[in-house]
Protein backbone atom coordinates (compact mmCIF):
# COMPACT_ATOMS: atom_id res chain seq x y z
CA UNK A 1 0.00 0.00 0.00
CA UNK A 2 1.75 3.13 -1.20
CA UNK A 3 -0.48 6.00 -0.18
CA UNK A 4 -3.89 4.39 0.31
CA UNK A 5 -5.05 5.59 -3.10
CA UNK A 6 -4.17 2.60 -5.23
CA UNK A 7 -7.87 1.87 -5.85
CA UNK A 8 -8.83 5.49 -6.41
CA UNK A 9 -9.96 6.53 -9.83
CA UNK A 10 -10.50 9.84 -11.45
CA UNK A 11 -14.01 11.01 -12.24
CA UNK A 12 -15.09 14.06 -14.12
CA UNK A 13 -15.67 17.39 -12.43
CA UNK A 14 -19.09 17.59 -10.79
CA UNK A 15 -20.56 20.84 -12.14
CA UNK A 16 -22.23 23.16 -9.67
CA UNK A 17 -23.70 25.71 -12.06
CA UNK A 18 -25.35 28.98 -11.17
CA UNK A 19 -29.12 29.05 -11.16
CA UNK A 20 -29.15 31.87 -13.71
CA UNK A 21 -26.89 30.37 -16.39
CA UNK A 22 -26.75 26.62 -15.74
CA UNK A 23 -23.21 26.89 -17.15
CA UNK A 24 -20.81 24.65 -15.16
CA UNK A 25 -17.91 27.01 -15.87
CA UNK A 26 -19.67 29.69 -13.81
CA UNK A 27 -20.26 27.51 -10.77
CA UNK A 28 -20.40 28.24 -7.06
CA UNK A 29 -18.03 26.92 -4.40
CA UNK A 30 -18.72 23.43 -3.09
CA UNK A 31 -18.96 23.57 0.69
CA UNK A 32 -19.01 19.85 1.59
CA UNK A 33 -18.82 16.39 0.07
CA UNK A 34 -19.55 12.93 1.46
CA UNK A 35 -19.70 9.32 0.25
CA UNK A 36 -22.56 7.05 1.31
CA UNK A 37 -20.36 4.61 3.23
CA UNK A 38 -22.05 3.18 6.31
CA UNK A 39 -20.17 2.95 9.59
CA UNK A 40 -22.59 0.23 10.74
CA UNK A 41 -22.99 -3.38 9.72
CA UNK A 42 -26.14 -3.15 7.59
CA UNK A 43 -27.90 -4.99 4.81
CA UNK A 44 -27.11 -2.28 2.27
CA UNK A 45 -26.02 -4.09 -0.87
CA UNK A 46 -23.86 -1.27 -2.25
CA UNK A 47 -22.01 1.40 -0.38
CA UNK A 48 -19.80 4.16 -1.63
CA UNK A 49 -21.71 4.40 -4.89
CA UNK A 50 -23.16 7.89 -4.27
CA UNK A 51 -21.77 11.29 -3.32
CA UNK A 52 -23.67 14.15 -1.73
CA UNK A 53 -22.38 17.70 -2.16
CA UNK A 54 -23.55 21.04 -0.83
CA UNK A 55 -22.95 24.39 -2.47
CA UNK A 56 -23.19 28.15 -2.16
CA UNK A 57 -25.95 28.12 -4.79
CA UNK A 58 -28.50 26.93 -2.14
CA UNK A 59 -28.60 23.35 -3.46
CA UNK A 60 -27.41 19.96 -2.29
CA UNK A 61 -26.82 17.37 -4.99
CA UNK A 62 -26.58 13.60 -5.14
CA UNK A 63 -24.24 12.06 -7.74
CA UNK A 64 -23.60 8.48 -8.76
CA UNK A 65 -20.13 6.96 -8.88
CA UNK A 66 -19.80 7.85 -12.57
CA UNK A 67 -20.27 11.54 -11.72
CA UNK A 68 -23.80 11.76 -13.13
CA UNK A 69 -26.25 14.02 -11.31
CA UNK A 70 -29.05 11.97 -9.75
CA UNK A 71 -30.98 14.51 -7.69
CA UNK A 72 -30.94 18.21 -6.80
CA UNK A 73 -32.26 19.10 -3.35
CA UNK A 74 -33.71 22.62 -3.50
CA UNK A 75 -34.90 23.08 0.08
CA UNK A 76 -32.67 25.95 1.27
CA UNK A 77 -32.93 29.68 0.62
CA UNK A 78 -29.22 30.47 1.21
CA UNK A 79 -25.81 28.78 1.00
CA UNK A 80 -25.87 25.12 2.07
CA UNK A 81 -22.91 24.69 4.43
CA UNK A 82 -22.99 20.95 4.87
CA UNK A 83 -24.72 17.78 3.69
CA UNK A 84 -24.21 14.51 5.57
CA UNK A 85 -25.51 10.94 5.31
CA UNK A 86 -26.74 9.24 8.48
CA UNK A 87 -24.90 6.13 9.73
CA UNK A 88 -27.16 3.81 7.71
CA UNK A 89 -26.77 5.97 4.55
CA UNK A 90 -30.54 6.23 4.18
CA UNK A 91 -31.08 9.86 5.23
CA UNK A 92 -29.32 13.10 4.32
CA UNK A 93 -29.28 16.13 6.61
CA UNK A 94 -28.36 19.56 5.21
CA UNK A 95 -27.67 22.80 7.06
CA UNK A 96 -27.43 26.25 5.59
CA UNK A 97 -27.02 29.97 6.16
CA UNK A 98 -30.82 30.21 6.12
CA UNK A 99 -30.62 28.80 9.68
CA UNK A 100 -32.39 25.58 8.70
CA UNK A 101 -31.46 21.94 9.10
CA UNK A 102 -33.40 19.82 6.64
CA UNK A 103 -33.59 16.04 6.88
CA UNK A 104 -34.51 14.16 3.72
CA UNK A 105 -35.29 10.46 3.83
CA UNK A 106 -36.20 9.88 0.20
CA UNK A 107 -34.80 6.90 -1.66
CA UNK A 108 -31.53 7.72 -3.37
Question: What is the distance between the alpha carbons of residues 82 and 44, in angstroms, rounded to a whole number?
Answer: 24
> What DSSP letter does each residue of 56-91 carry, written as one string?
TTS-EEEEETTS-EEEEE---SS-EEEEEE-TTSS-
Residue 8, domain member (yes or no): no
On the CB side of 104, how many CA atoms lie within 13 Å of its CA? 20
Is residue 10 included in any domain, yes or no? no
Q: Is 6 within the bounds of a domain?
A: no
pLDDT digits (tens, 9 = 90+) for 6-38: 555 555 556 655 454 445 445 677 888 787 776
Boundaries of domain holding 60: 24-104
58 against 27, higher pLDDT = 58
Q: Is 31 among the domain residues?
A: yes
Long-range contacts of 25-33 (CB under 8 A, 24+ apart): 27/55, 27/57, 28/55, 28/56, 28/57, 29/55, 29/56, 30/54, 30/55, 31/55, 31/56, 31/79, 31/80, 31/81, 31/82, 32/80, 32/81, 32/82, 32/83, 32/84
Q: Report yes or no on 85 lying in a domain.
A: yes
Lowest mean pLDDT among 25-29, 49-53, 72-76, 94-98: 25-29
12 located within any domain: no
Domain count, the chain: 1
Please check whether residue 18 lies inside any domain of the structure: no
In the predicted model, what is the mean pLDDT of residues 54-69? 89
Amino acid sequence: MQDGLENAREIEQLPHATKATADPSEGFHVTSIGWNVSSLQTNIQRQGDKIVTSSEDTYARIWNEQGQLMKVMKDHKDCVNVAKWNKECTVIATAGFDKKVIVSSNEY
